[in-house]
Amino acid sequence: MMDNTLTNRAADNIRALAVQMVERAKSGHPGGAMGGADFINILYSEFLSFDPSDPTWINRDRFFLDPGHMSPMLYAQLALVGHFSMNELARFRQWGSPTPGHPEVDFSRGIENTSGPLGQGHTMAVGAAIAEQFLVTRFGEWMSHKIYTYISDGGIQEEIAQGAGRIAGTLGLKNLIMFYDANNVQLSTKVDRVSKEDVAKKYEAWHWNVIEIDGNDPNEIRRALKEANEEQNRPTLIIGNTVMAKGGVTADGSSLEGAVATHGQPLTAAGGDLEKTLKGFGVEDIDELTIFPDVAKYYAGLMQTKKAKAAKKKEEQDKWEKDNPALAAKLRRFFSSDIKSIAFDEIEQKMDIATRGASSTVLGELAGKVENMIVGSADLSNSDKTDGFLKQTTAFNHHDFSGSFLQPGVSEFTLAAICNGMALHGGVIAACGTFFVFSDYMKPAVRLSALMELPVKYIWTHDAFRVGEDGPTHQPIEHEAQIRLLEKLKNHSGEPSVMVVRPCDADETTVAWKMAMENKKTPTCLILSRQNIPSIPVDDRYNQALGAQKGAYIIDEDENAEMVLLASGSEVSTLWDAKQILNEKGVNVSLVSVPSEGIFRNQDKEYQERILPKDKFRFGLTAGLPVTLEGLVGDNGAVFGLNHFGYSAPAKVLDEKFGFTAEQVAAEIMKYVKR
């Protein structure tokens, strides 16, 4: 049996740093970090394969933290690795600090994912594990690596855990190893007061390999990780029964271990004694954050060993590249997300089709040419028309990642988070589809896509009340306004956090996909119709539709225009028909398509005023809430939209009842014509 003296010393160092960070910030979560220190220390020191001098090495093992409130544990561990200084730890949760309250993705510092909203972190790990298996299938076992993830009681309870567990087990993700920090404490109560489920049996039912251990015993942790690494058929769940606030004591020396109060506040606020607790961990000066000298020496040696092991794996890759130059070029292309092979202008679209159908045509082209693209659909592929992609490939199956399509079942939230994980892993382009109304289920993951600046492609169809007979539960009214709020929200790079594009016909859909595939900085949200939409009847329509790349462009301009009509999606064709009626009445108008307000707002003022002149009255038409276009029409304009839920009836009937026929819209516009 190994001598664990130095191992335990390093774990105590992590505990001490975590406690000190939270005390200095006067906020944070020390208890879980104190209990989880033993596992993370052994994982990083003895099992995790990485190169501390090359954090973005593509063949590294990945570690995904689910409970982001346990950031002090991760930052302390990464400080031992050499990615954070004591000064940076001391500035935990402060302005401009690289140690925010919850970890934000930073590959250069060894942080693989933004975490905080419980349940999403380990689900991203499932996505990363899928990406790894996808790449190994194409490039060989030399590229195999492990995906580790750490989950807490809260993450286990979040509903998304069901989708992640089911999908990982169904696919047989043998490269996925998850540690469950089972300390029976959550923020406001004990776990056994809110849940009586048998977690082990639940994961066994999902076909996981389940190991239960004392999560604070180094020897049991090693045994479990060794067994998990040897597993060749299933993902592994290690249930580590740990002690919340391990080592914490009060002023009279009594134990604070297991106290609920230690979960979400500084140790002193929970009744603990800082000096006695830190002294118990071996801290000599409680006012200074420090890596113990013997621990520093220990980790310095470990890091040299890891560099040497990584160098050997890199040599293996170099040899493989020399022996397989074509595959090596493909690998480089995969990780650069190169799409130069796609000639979007050569994609032939049918006239007068639904934009979901036009999207399907583009996806069929992408499936044959963008070899690292993975598309998923929440059991709707034949309705959201992602089957245009599926028809050119096959779906993933148990231990079979030769295809490029993910069928996760009915689990929109899980699917979106999995796509985030794929994007974080790198080497693949992730896309997923569902009905627009069900984007409600996806929004927490879309928000993290935006925050992490991940180029996931969201394909949302059935975009308006024209879903018809399915009724109000399936008719998105307020959804476009909601998602376009993220266009207005800047990410940390100062750019609109998402790109939202709602194309108005088949050719504009091709351009929308061109925009999506070229966007490598943020998520793209494509909003597509269920019903057929008349194609805009102009010559060389595709080249005209390229104007969508600026967010808005003129479809039909009248130099004598009294006003400008504007819309996105299917409403553009309605305005086109209304324009013909207005022209017959002697009313001159120009027509503008605005598929992406966010992009349009990023154009220079001259362009914006060219498209939407300030001196012209503006009339906006939307099948959603009027607020969707109110910012574009301004004070000198009007918007016709909906301010109520939909109803169950055929689409044409709803058009008439809601006032969306060309004749009704023309009559509405006439109210604003000065005569």
The catalytic residue positions are 412
Name residue, tokens 């989708």.
163
CA 538 from centroid of its chain's CA atoms? 38
Distance (Å, whole) CA 10 – CA 4: 10
Distance (Å, whole) CA 497 – CA 501: 13
Cβ burial of 606 (10 Å; 0-12, 13-18, 19+) is exposed
In what helix (H) or strand (E) does residue 133 lie, and over which residues does it extend?
helix 120-139
Straight-line distance from the first to the last Cα atom of the chain, in angstroms, rounded to the nearest whole number? 95
Three state DSSP letters for 531-589: CCCCCCCCCCHHHHHHHHHHCCEEEECCCCCCEEEEECCCHHHHHHHHHHHHHHCCCCE
Rounded to the nearest 10°, the torsion over CA 385, 406, 108, 79 is: 140
Distance (Å, whole) CA 266 – CA 250: 13
Count of Cβ atoms closer than 10 Å to residue 564 Cβ = 23
Closest C-alpha to 377, from 417, 313, 435 = 435
Sign of CA dihedral 54, 60, 66, 67: negative
In what helix (H) or strand (E) does residue 597 lie, and over which residues does it extend?
helix 597-601
Closest C-alpha to 31, from 63, 86, 72 = 72
According to DSSP, the residues that pair with 593 across neighbouring strands are 553, 567
CA 138 from centroid of its chain's CA atoms? 24
Which whole-number Å values give the CA distances from 108 to 51, 82, 98, 544, 548, in the listed order? 11, 11, 11, 42, 36
Cβ–Cβ < 8 Å for 370, 342: yes
* DSSP conformation class of 201: H
Q: φ, ψ for residue 211 (rounded to 5)?
A: -125, 130
